[in-house]
Amino acid sequence: MRIPLLSIYRCVGTLNSRHIVPRVSQIALVPRHYSTSPSKPSTVTLNGKSYPCDDHTNVPPHIAQCLSRKLHLIPNHPISITRSLIESQFPSPVYKSYNTLLPVVTVGQNFDSLGFPLDHPGRSRTDTYYVNKDTVLRTHTSAHQADTFRLRESDGFTISADVYRRDAIDRSHYPVFHQMEGARMWSRDSVPNGDIAAAIWKEIEQMPRHDLKVEDTAGAWDAERNPVQSEHTDAEAEAVAAHLKRSLENVVVEVFGQARKAAIAAGEAKESEVEEPLKVRWIEAYFPFTSPSYELEVFWQGDWLELLGCGVVKQELLKNADCNDQIGWAFGVGLERVSMLLFNIPDIRLFWSQDARFLSQFTPSTITRFQPFSKFPPCHKDVAFWLPSSTTSAAGGNTMGVFHENDMMEVVRDVAGDDAEDVRCIDEFVHPKTGKKSLCFRVNYRSLERTLTNDETNQMHEKVRQALVERYGVELR
Ligand code: PHE
């Protein structure tokens, strides 16, 4: 099972790893995107505030509606229980937690302040919800790093929030999910003799020790790809990384220790798992706003799971936030992934369920295993279509007038909402004579709450087919 996390915000290369289905490459198409159609409203209302639309706007109503849900703040919701469990490892007064920052941010906050290059794929309209060309729904909690550093309200902070990304449809991907950002800073001006490394090591001495098995290949990393920053001494970077790693290892001990207890209590854990110490490993990663960067993986029920991304904060970012006297670390963790493990929740759509059979199962501050309500039958339907022959090439990163797999996902979500469980591209070919491209997608309709009738599924599927024609000018086969 793959659960949404981080990957697009690493540098290119591992870009598609959060997609189960390989992405259909961007294919040139007559510009007919629905967001540019004349019937489009001139403003979009988000959290009660209205924003002007332009040809970048691509926030559909079903996404706009999610802004008011705030799952991470509902005390008996698994996302919120997970949030407070992790938050408890970063206590005040050292860490201040921000949990109510609004999701509408500027392109500057979400990308520029973090040093994302202009051609980074994360900026594209196929991956990000644009309110208009200058404003997006935050795609990660890192969007608030610079502002929070600038505030200097505490030495460290956590930020928990809903984040938005256009993405695949399956049991572990949802276009809205939750992240927690964490950061810790030390100022050269306030440690004895300006010796940050010494001050950090002193703190590390006082941190709780753990009996995790830790694999770390950090020493062997490429100094070019993932270097200590020129503004930092090796000793400083080493101390910051050691503090970062110990802090996050302690989170794993707490969170996965609890998950294990819950699994044992439910009779799900194997004897061998109960006996063995928890295992984690640090691996190399790349983010535009940290260096060196790392990823933490945990060994859980037979697999290595990617848990979070982190690193030493880029000095450029701190300088721009008027914090050049400080150095420190930051991490970002996806809460759905952790929550699915803790509570044994098999389908990400359940988090959004308003069915009492879901929410009434949970109690604030307590980890319990999810008891599935009965499983309803799936219904697979295929749709095959020709893309209009292209008039222009889509090269050069132009996202207007190209059909992207995420456009298909959006159409299905628009029509079927949470009654779509999974969508995958099952066939793609180019006609040898006409050069026309054909795609075939398989949609699996299944409600988590009831049996869908045949009629209902047929009607939904017909709407999907029509929407593809209307918005993208495809020719159904
Ligand atoms: N914002 C990154 C993501 O969503 C995660 C991250 C946060 C990485 C902080 C490094 C430091 O992928």
The residue whose C-alpha atom lies closest to atom 3 belonging to ligand 1 is: 6
pLDDT band at 266 (very low <50, low <70, confident <90, very high): confident
Confidence band, pLDDT 50/70/90 cuts, at residue 202: very high
- Residues 170-189: pLDDT tens digits? 999 999 999 999 999 999 99
The pLDDT of residue 200 is above 80:
yes
The Cα angle at residue 432 between residues 427 and 434, in degrees rounded to 5:
100
- In what order do the strands lie in the sheet containing 176-187? 95-98, 156-164, 176-187, 326-334, 303-313, 290-300, 279-287, 213-216
For domain 43-360, give the CATH superfamily.
Answer: Bira Bifunctional Protein; Domain 2 (3.30.930.10)
pLDDT for the residue 10: 54
CA of 194 to the centre of ligand 1 (A): 29
At residue 262 the predicted structure's pLDDT band, cuts being 50, 70 and 90, is confident
Which range of 272-281, 319-328, 445-454 scores highest in mean pLDDT? It is 319-328
Ligand 1 pocket, 332 CB below 6 A? yes
Counting ligand 1 atoms within 8 A of each CB, the residue from 8, 110, 136, 140 with the most, and so the one to mutate, is: 140
pLDDT (0 to 100) of residue 374 = 79
**Residue in the block written with tokens 């590390």:** 204
In this structure, the residue with its CA closest to atom 12 of ligand 1 is 6
Binding site membership of 290 for ligand 1 (Cβ less than 6 Å): yes
Nearest CA to ligand 1 atom 10: 310
Mean local confidence (pLDDT), 397-418: 81
- What are φ and ψ of residue 426, in 5° steps? -105, -10
Answer for the pair 384, 438: CB distance below 8 angstroms, yes or no: yes
pLDDT for res 20:
25
Q: Which of 22-31, 105-114, 351-360, 375-384 has the lowest mean pLDDT?
A: 22-31
Of ligand 1's atoms, which has the minimum distance to the CA of residue 293?
A: 10
pTM: 0.87
CB 334 within 8 A of CB 308: yes
Give the per-residue pLDDT at 9: 60
Q: Is 396 left (phi over 0), alpha (psi -120 to 50) or beta?
A: left
Q: Which residues of 321-344 are buried (b: 16+ CB within 10 A; e: fewer)?
A: bebeebbbbbbbbbbbbbbbbbbb
H-assigned helices in 27-176: 61-64, 78-87, 107-110, 145-151
Of 1-15, 112-126, 224-238, 248-262, which gets the smallest average pLDDT?
A: 1-15
Ligand 1 atom, smallest distance to 163 CA? 4
**Chain segment 64-107, per-residue pLDDT in tens:** 999 999 999 999 999 999 999 999 999 999 999 999 999 999 99
C-alpha 280 to ligand 1 mean position (Å):
19
Which tokens in the block code for residue 402? 């190209």
Q: How far apart are the CA of 182 and the centre of ligand 1, in A?
A: 10
114 CB near ligand 1 (under 6 Å) = no
Angle, nearest 10°, between helix axes 234-265 and 78-87?
140
126 CA to centre of ligand 1 in angstroms: 20
- Residue 157 near ligand 1, beta carbon < 6 Å: no
Coil vs helix vs strand at 5 = coil
**Host H or E run for residue 32:** none
Band of pLDDT at residue 220, cut at 50, 70 and 90: confident
| pLDDT at position 377 over 80 | yes
Question: Which atom of ligand 1 approaches the CA of 183 most closely?
Answer: 9
The rounded distance, in Å, linking the Cα atoms of 438 and 432 is 11
- Residue 464 to residue 455: CA distance in whole angstroms: 14
Q: Is the per-residue pLDDT at 345 higher than 80?
A: yes
pLDDT of residue 117: 97
Average pLDDT score over residue span 330-336:
98
Q: What is the CATH number of domain 379-393+401-476?
A: 3.30.70.380
Q: 165-174, 254-263, 465-474 — which is least confidently predicted?
A: 254-263
pLDDT at residue 379 tops 80: yes
Average pLDDT over residues 403-432: 95
Atom 6 of ligand 1 has which residue's CA nearest to it?
Answer: 332
The three-state secondary structure class of 181 is strand
Give the number of the atom of ligand 1 that is nearest the alpha carbon of residue 8: 12
Most informative mutation of 3, 5, 6, 18 for ligand 1 (most atoms within 8 A of CB): 6
When pLDDT is averaged across residues 237-241 and rounded to a whole number, the result is 97
The structural domains of the chain, with segments of one domain joined by +, span: 43-360, 379-393+401-476
Ligand 1: nearest atom to the Cα of 313: 11
Once rounded to an integer, what is the mean pLDDT over residues 33-52?
75
What value does the CA radius of gyration of the chain take, rounded to a whole number of Å?
23
Q: By alpha-carbon position, which residue is closest to atom 7 of ligand 1?
A: 332
**pLDDT average, residue stretch 424-441:** 94
Q: What CA–CA distances, in Å, run from 152 to 10, 13, 146, 157, 185?
A: 27, 35, 10, 10, 10
Amino acid symbol at 377: P
Question: Is any ligand 1 atom within 6 A of the Cβ of residue 331?
Answer: yes
Is the CB–ligand 1 distance for residue 334 below 6 Å? no
Greater pLDDT, 32 or 63: 63
Q: Six-digit token pair at 206? A: 């006082």
Report yes or no: 87 and 376 within 8 Å, Cβ to Cβ: no
